Amino acid sequence: MDFTEKILSEKQIYKGKLLDVRKYEVVLPNGLKSGREVIKHIGASAVLAVDDENNIFMVRQYRFAAGEHLLEVPAGKFDRHGEDPLECARRELEEETGKKAEFWSYLGYILTTPGFTDEKIHLFLAKGLFDGKTNPDSDEFIQLVRTPLAEFEKMIREGNINDAKTIAVYTRAKLSGGI
Amino acid sequence: MDFTEKILSEKQIYKGKLLDVRKYEVVLPNGLKSGREVIKHIGASAVLAVDDENNIFMVRQYRFAAGEHLLEVPAGKFDRHGEDPLECARRELEEETGKKAEFWSYLGYILTTPGFTDEKIHLFLAKGLFDGKTNPDSDEFIQLVRTPLAEFEKMIREGNINDAKTIAVYTRAKLSGGI
């Protein structure tokens, strides 16, 4: 069944440093009009980086919006519209962990919260890790964490890892036999 | 390490039907000032409902923000601040599937996209399903889908299920031995 909503008008409500807030007038499948509010997002990549001893790399940082310190896999936004998701993934992995990877597998994408944003995060599994040029300690507000896979799974199970993309990239890697 | 950012000021930028956009001035751990933009969210619950034949219930709907039809587990926002997440989960399950459940397990929460929103979705496993009073067909824009667990896993693996909360609630249920 096709429930597509057609766009009648689009208006930018707010453009901040980070957020692009838009309001749309749409036609519902039954012909009635309705409003839609959307946070436009450029897109992002996230990486499950696994070393030869089956450790997972994460970063721990304070997330102001969430009001908590969170453990997350390396991830970040595209630096321009249409950036290759793999290029973004490589950059974010090296920036946040200092590592590069020999082997990359694409694990599809997720929509983080499709009720109000188009944010799409592309997921990758990275193996064959080796040292890059970046020193991750240069960002004083991010802490690099290396966790054995079994402990990482326990942290997801027990609610010590609560970041949606981190859980999703693990799950895709697991179900596809990559880890 | 404590990287907490202290709030100096808070300002509401936009309040729509759905979105509450705020801008903050904060102090970073190094003492410098910075700005933060946040979408405030009331909170939500999502339910992995599994029947006695190991089928998973999902809804298929058009998500305007994402620009796609998506398959998602039953979920929805709190109807007031401080609503019990389980109460919300029960309501959303019945509204979207017409089902009630005898057995409920709490599977913790996720932060859907902690870079720009405080949206927290509480996850539940529901078993012992039986018919409620609601007729889910009353919403003409939502299609109820019942999928065997093995097929559901295949859909996650192959990228036919891309909704973050749906993947996360499956993963927590799986790792905790609930499915």
Q: How confident is the model at residue B71 (pLDDT cuts 50, 70, 90)?
A: very high
Give, as one character, the DSSP assignment of residue A31: S
Per-residue pLDDT 10s for chain A (179 aa) are 899 999 999 999 999 999 999 999 999 999 999 999 999 999 999 999 999 999 999 999 999 999 999 999 999 999 999 999 999 999 999 999 999 999 999 999 999 999 999 999 999 999 999 999 877 656 679 999 999 999 999 999 999 999 999 999 999 999 999 99
Residues B38 and A65: their CA atoms lie apart, in Å, by 6
Tell which of A24, A68, A113, A176 to mutate to test the B interface (max B CBs under 10 Å): A113
Report the alpha-carbon distance of residue B80 to residue B165 in Å, rounded.
Answer: 21
Q: How many CA atoms lie within 13 A of B47 on its CB side?
A: 31
Segment B66-90 shows an average pLDDT of 97
Q: Is residue B140 very low, low, confident or very high in pLDDT (cuts 50, 70, 90)? A: confident
Confidence of residue B137 (pLDDT cuts 50, 70, 90): low
The pLDDT score that the predictor gives to residue A40 is 97
Element (H, E) at B166: helix B164-175
Contact status of B8 with chain A (Cβ, < 8 Å):
no
Neighbours of A135 (CB within 10 A): 8
Rounded to an integer, what distance in angstroms lies between the CA atom of residue A57 and that of residue A74?
Answer: 8
Chain B residues in contact with A35 by the CB 8 A cut-off are 16-17
pLDDT tens digits, B34-61:
999 999 999 999 999 999 999 999 999 9
Q: Does any CB of chain A come closer than 8 Å to the CB of residue B63?
A: yes
CA dist A55 and B115 (Å) reads 25
- ipTM reported for the complex, 2 dp: 0.97
**pTM of the entire predicted model:** 0.97
- Using a CB-CB distance cutoff of 8 angstroms, which residues of chain B are in contact with residue A163? 110-111, 114
Share of chain B above pLDDT 90, in %: 94
Give the C-alpha separation, A165 to A179, whole Å.
17
Instruction: Yes or no: say if A98 and A59 are a contact pair by the CB < 8 Å rule.
Output: no
Q: Which CATH superfamily is domain B44-175 in?
A: Nucleoside Triphosphate Pyrophosphohydrolase (3.90.79.10)
Query: Active-site residues of A: which are they?
Result: 140
Residue type at A161? Answer: I
**Sole residue written with tokens 């936009």:** B14
Largest CA distance in chain B: 57
